[in-house]
């Protein structure tokens, strides 16, 4: 009866034997070599890479549910929870002084609440806008300088971009000649990347024509992911075959989830690291935590890691867990009644984020997203088309950009009198400009929007605890415009956007703006920007890297938490400054290189231990007389 048995195994290996545990009661063990906190964007990368060695055991603890079968995480157009009004996979967290950006169904209003799209397997990569941008080479060269580790430079990081990426055809299989440079893309990585598979062609044609009419200000750039992003070019998305490609779909493939040395527990929310003990005699790295406490249902459990605990809980979750564990600013911790294990004041500080300002114009056309989003017949048709053939408007993000651009302030701008240039170099942008075929307002009609983002901010914010309760939402202040430079720079950025739409090609297509910015004085415009901008959802820096031995920073360049043994951070929070790019690609390379750093660390240790054990046994077996007796 060999054949039926094999059939049974094949059947169950797709379902029952999958190591994605829904229930803590089913998990065979709570002792592992490595415990990874967070199965978001970075976590699955690290879990997959570490378990390539079958002798290494890994547990991933993820607070959210599985991504499997969640349409919002699969259909690109349903990003931001459109299908369920954006409430399902979110934590409500307090945010000071910022405007929600992704409340598509609401006009932008000031609010102290945003949705943090991170509470699902795959984390942000299961919910983000899927825009794939790496940043400027100079962003990474600055990371190398800020950390004293050449390993973070563009040239040394570049192979990790390729390792992460699998370039694929767009969903509509259109001819992509002249839209990207194949020479800078990976072909066998886990994450699918493609050009937009559906195009709002009127808007696209005007954008491209502008690069012909105003080439000095707005040059065409064949591929913004070459390390030199300046100019206007096609958007690349983490989408393959009309579906989202996330860390969950790309790295946690069925074969990886079936590795016997990898267990992933869902619905497990980590509170803190527990049982700190003094280890060894040296003052550096003399504290180690023995376990990770998590809540499943209403009970608490502890998972133990014999080699390392790796925090991949994201730029909000990671500093929160560190502070819950007594690692942070002693004064702030003690004010909440949390006893300090290690005074590390930079935890949660230096949050660095993009700001986002939308402008809309009515257009003399009905080729806009409103024709779908405001007509349920056409919405359902478009959904059915995706369902049938993975084509049509639902194969791209709801922002539906086909082009974005990266621009600089002019060299003689007066804003540089306030603060020196915060960009990492002359080939890196201050602004991102995005072109979207709809309005964020509820005005009737057809619109396009031009979005201006300040992507080299001087402002910094913070993540702090609101309470000693480890499950309470933290306070997030991403610090938008806390430095006046950013607001004044964005005011100049708006002038660039107005210049863009002043190109002759827009005549007859663009109608009235929803808000007349041209009649505002510069000071009025700056005030308007402050009041109406939102965050780009690209926050990093809250567990930032700094050189070994620096008096600030949270992790060393090898991502080990300063002063703690056996604890690393591998996620977006280690990037000391936000890159001039959407941040998932940077997060993926942090995770890929971070995995290599962990592997190298333990390979060295193992070699060292082996040498030590060999010498020890050699000495023990020697006849001591042979050593100490003079023979000649």
Annotated binding-site positions: 128-131, 270
Selected from 155, 410, 607, 609, the binder of ligand NAG by CB under 6 A is: 410
Q: Which of 203, 117, 194 is nearest to 391 (CA)?
A: 194
Selected from 21, 27, 38, 383, the binder of ligand FAD by CB under 6 A is: 38
Interface segment toward ligand FAD; rule CB under 6 A; list 128-136, 205-213, 298-306, 388-396? 128-136
Tell me if residue 271 falls in helix, strand or coil. strand
Q: Does residue 129 bind ligand FAD (CB under 6 A)? A: yes
Q: Which of residues 374-403 bind ligand NAG (CB under 6 A)?
A: 375, 377-378, 383-384, 387
Q: Does residue 461 bind ligand NAG (CB under 6 A)? A: no
List the binding residues for FAD. Answer: 128-131, 270
124 contact, one of ligand FAD, ligand NAG, none, CB 5-8 Å limit per kind: ligand FAD
Selected from 133, 211, 346, 397, the binder of ligand NAG by CB under 6 A is: 346
Cβ–Cβ < 8 Å for 503, 209? yes
Minimum distance from residue 412 beta carbon to ligand FAD (Å):
32
Q: Does residue 371 bind ligand NAG (CB under 6 A)? A: yes
Minimum distance from residue 222 beta carbon to ligand FAD (Å):
20
Q: Which tokens sit at 83?
A: 């299908």
- Bridge partners of 95, per DSSP, are 476
> Any idea what DSSP says for residue 413?
-
Selected from 270, 382, 488, 489, the binder of ligand FAD by CB under 6 A is: 270
- The residue (of 213 and 596) whose beta carbon lies closer to ligand FAD is 596
Query: What is the spatial distance between Cα 49 and Cα 55, in angstroms, rounded to a whole number?
Result: 13
* Contacts for 487 with CB less than 8 Å, ≥ 6 apart: 481, 526, 529, 530
**How do strand 462-464 and strand 475-477 relate by DSSP bridges?**
antiparallel
Phi (first) and psi of residue 624, to 5 degrees: -55, -30
Question: How buried is residue 412: exposed, middle or buried, by Cβ count under 10 Å (0-12/13-18/19+)?
Answer: exposed
Selected from 128, 221, 247, 350, the binder of ligand NAG by CB under 6 A is: 350
Q: Could you give the residue numbers annotated as active site?
A: 538, 582
Minimum distance from residue 616 beta carbon to ligand NAG (Å):
43
Minimum distance from residue 552 beta carbon to ligand NAG (Å):
3
Q: Which of 121, 387, 116, 73 is nearest to 244 (CA)?
A: 73
Binding mask 533-572 vs ligand FAD (x if CB under 6 A, - otherwise)?
A: ----xx--------------------------------xx
Tell me if residue 493 falls in helix, strand or coil. helix
Minimum distance from residue 274 beta carbon to ligand NAG (Å):
26
Cα–Cα distance list, 228 to 133, 233, 362, 407, 576 (Å): 11, 12, 33, 11, 21
Q: Does residue 164 bind ligand FAD (CB under 6 A)? A: no
How many residues line the site for ligand FAD (CB under 6 A)?
39
Q: Which of 59, 87, 471 is nearest to 266 (CA)?
A: 59
Counting Cα atoms < 13 Å in the Cβ hemisphere of 604 gives 6
- The residue (of 459 and 587) whose beta carbon lies closer to ligand FAD is 587
Selected from 40, 86, 196, 544, the binder of ligand FAD by CB under 6 A is: 40
Q: Does residue 456 bind ligand NAG (CB under 6 A)? A: no
Minimum distance from residue 294 beta carbon to ligand FAD (Å):
6
Residue located via tokens 């967070």: 38
Q: Which tokens sit at 222?
A: 């064949």
Q: Does residue 552 bind ligand NAG (CB under 6 A)? A: yes
Q: Which long-range contacts (CB under 8 A, 24 or more apart) does 411-418 make?
A: 413/489, 413/492, 415/485, 415/488, 415/489, 415/492, 418/484, 418/485, 418/488
How many residues line the site for ligand NAG (CB under 6 A)?
16
375 contact, one of ligand FAD, ligand NAG, none, CB 5-8 Å limit per kind: ligand NAG
Query: What is the spatial distance between Cα 321 and Cα 578, in angstroms, rounded to a whole number?
Result: 21
Selected from 583, 593, 594, 595, the binder of ligand FAD by CB under 6 A is: 583
Query: What is the spatial distance between Cα 98 and Cα 479, in angstroms, rounded to a whole number?
Result: 8
- The residue (of 109 and 521) whose beta carbon lies closer to ligand NAG is 521
Q: Which of 584, 497, 429, 581 is nearest to 79 (CA)?
A: 584
**How do strand 431-436 and strand 567-569 relate by DSSP bridges?**
unpaired
246 contact, one of ligand NAG, ligand FAD, none, CB 5-8 Å limit per kind: none
- The residue (of 200 and 294) whose beta carbon lies closer to ligand FAD is 294
Q: Does residue 99 bind ligand FAD (CB under 6 A)? A: no
| Gap between the terminal Cα atoms of the chain | 75
Minimum distance from residue 41 beta carbon to ligand FAD (Å):
3
* Contacts for 608 with CB less than 8 Å, ≥ 6 apart: none
Residues belonging to the chain: 632
Q: Which of residues 274-333 bind ligand FAD (CB under 6 A)?
A: 312-315, 317, 321
Binding mask 587-606 vs ligand FAD (x if CB under 6 A, - otherwise)?
A: x-------------------
Minimum distance from residue 416 beta carbon to ligand FAD (Å):
28
- Bridge partners of 513, per DSSP, are 361
Interface segment toward ligand FAD; rule CB under 6 A; list 59-67, 227-235, 453-461, 618-626? 59-67
**How do strand 231-234 and strand 403-407 relate by DSSP bridges?**
antiparallel
Tell me if residue 350 falls in helix, strand or coil. coil
587 contact, one of ligand NAG, ligand FAD, none, CB 5-8 Å limit per kind: ligand FAD
Query: What is the spatial distance between Cα 366 and Cα 581, in angstroms, rounded to a whole number?
Result: 31
Q: Which of residues 560-579 bind ligand NAG (CB under 6 A)?
A: 576
Q: Which of 526, 567, 527 is nearest to 543 (CA)?
A: 567
- Bridge partners of 534, per DSSP, are 356
Q: Which tokens sit at 539?
A: 């926050």
- The residue (of 315 and 589) whose beta carbon lies closer to ligand FAD is 315
Residue number closest to ligand FAD, CB atom: 40
Q: CA-CA-CA-CA torsion for 342, 572, 22, 190, nearest 10 degrees?
A: -140
Tell me which residues touch ligand FAD (CB under 6 A). 37-42, 61-64, 102, 117-119, 123-125, 127-131, 269-270, 312-315, 317, 321, 537-538, 571-572, 582-585, 587
Tell me which residues touch ligand NAG (CB under 6 A). 346, 349-350, 366, 371, 375, 377-378, 383-384, 387, 410, 412, 414, 552, 576
């Amino acid at each position: 009866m060999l054949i039926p048995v094999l059939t049974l195994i094949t059947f169950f290996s797709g379902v029952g034997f999958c190591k994605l545990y829904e229930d803590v009661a089913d998990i065979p063990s709570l002792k592992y070599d490595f415990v990874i906190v967070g199965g978001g964007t970075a976590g699955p990368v690290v879990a997959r890479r570490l378990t390539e060695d079958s002798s290494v055991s890994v547990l991933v603890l993820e607070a959210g549910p599985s991504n499997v079968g969640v349409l919002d995480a699969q259909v690109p157009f349903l990003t931001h929870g459109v299908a369920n009004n954006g409430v399902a996979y979110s934590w409500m967290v307090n945010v000071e002084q910022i405007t929600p950006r992704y409340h598509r169904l609401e006009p932008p209003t000031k609010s102290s609440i945003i949705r943090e799209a991170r509470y699902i397997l795959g984390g942000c990569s299961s919910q983000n806008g899927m825009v794939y941008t790496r940043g400027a080479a100079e962003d990474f060269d600055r990371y190398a300088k800020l950390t004293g580790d050449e390993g973070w430079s563009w040239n040394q990081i570049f192979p990790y971009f390729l390792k992460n990426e699998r370039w694929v055809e767009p969903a509509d299989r259109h001819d992509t000649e002249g839209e990207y440079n194949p020479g800078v893309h990976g072909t066998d990585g886990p994450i699918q990347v493609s050009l937009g598979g559906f195009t709002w062609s009127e808007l696209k044609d005007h954008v491209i024509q502008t690069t012909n009419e105003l080439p000095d200000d707005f040059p065409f750039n064949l591929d913004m992911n070459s390390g030199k992003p300046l100019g206007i070019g096609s958007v690349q998305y983490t989408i393959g075959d009309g579906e989202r490609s996330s860390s969950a779909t790309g790295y946690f493939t069925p074969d990886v989830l079936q590795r016997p040395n990898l267990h992933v527990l869902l619905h497990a929310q980590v509170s803190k690291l527990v049982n700190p003990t003094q280890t060894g005699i040296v003052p550096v790295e003399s504290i180690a935590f023995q376990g990770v406490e998590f809540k499943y249902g209403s009970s608490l459990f502890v998972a133990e890691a014999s080699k390392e605990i790796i925090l991949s809980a994201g730029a909000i979750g990671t500093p929160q867990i560190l502070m819950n564990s007594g690692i942070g600013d002693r004064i702030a911790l003690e004010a909440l009644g949390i006893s300090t294990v290690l005074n590390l004041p930079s935890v949660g500080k230096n949050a660095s984020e993009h700001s986002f300002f939308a402008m809309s114009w009515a257009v003399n056309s009905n080729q806009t997203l409103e024709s779908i989003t405001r007509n349920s017949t056409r919405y359902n048709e478009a959904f059915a088309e995706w369902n049938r053939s993975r084509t049509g408007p639902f194969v791209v993000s709801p922002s539906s950009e086909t082009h974005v651009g990266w621009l600089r302030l002019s060299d003689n701008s007066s804003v540089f009198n306030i603060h020196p240039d915060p960009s990492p170099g002359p080939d890196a942008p201050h602004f991102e400009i995005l072109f979207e075929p709809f309005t964020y307002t509820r005005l009737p009609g057809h619109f396009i929007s031009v979005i201006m983002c300040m992507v080299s901010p001087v402002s910094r914010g913070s993540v702090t605890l609101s309470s000693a309760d480890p499950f309470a939402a933290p306070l997030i202040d991403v610090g938008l415009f806390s430095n006046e430079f950013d607001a004044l720079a964005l005011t100049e950025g708006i002038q660039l956007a107005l210049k863009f739409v002043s190109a002759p090609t827009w005549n007859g297509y663009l109608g009235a703006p929803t808000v007349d910015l041209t009649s505002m004085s510069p000071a009025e415009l700056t005030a308007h920007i402050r009041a109406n901008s939102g965050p780009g959802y690209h926050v990093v820096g809250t567990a930032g890297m700094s050189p070994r031995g620096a008096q600030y920073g949270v992790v060393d360049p090898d991502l080990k938490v300063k002063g703690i043994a056996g604890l690393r951070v591998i996620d977006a929070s280690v990037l000391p400054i936000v890159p001039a790019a959407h941040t998932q690609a940077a997060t993926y390379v942090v995770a890929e290189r971070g995995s290599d750093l962990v592997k190298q660390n333990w390979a060295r240790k193992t070699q060292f231990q082996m040498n030590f054990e060999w010498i020890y046994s050699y000495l023990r077996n020697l006849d001591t007389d042979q050593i100490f007796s003079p023979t000649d």
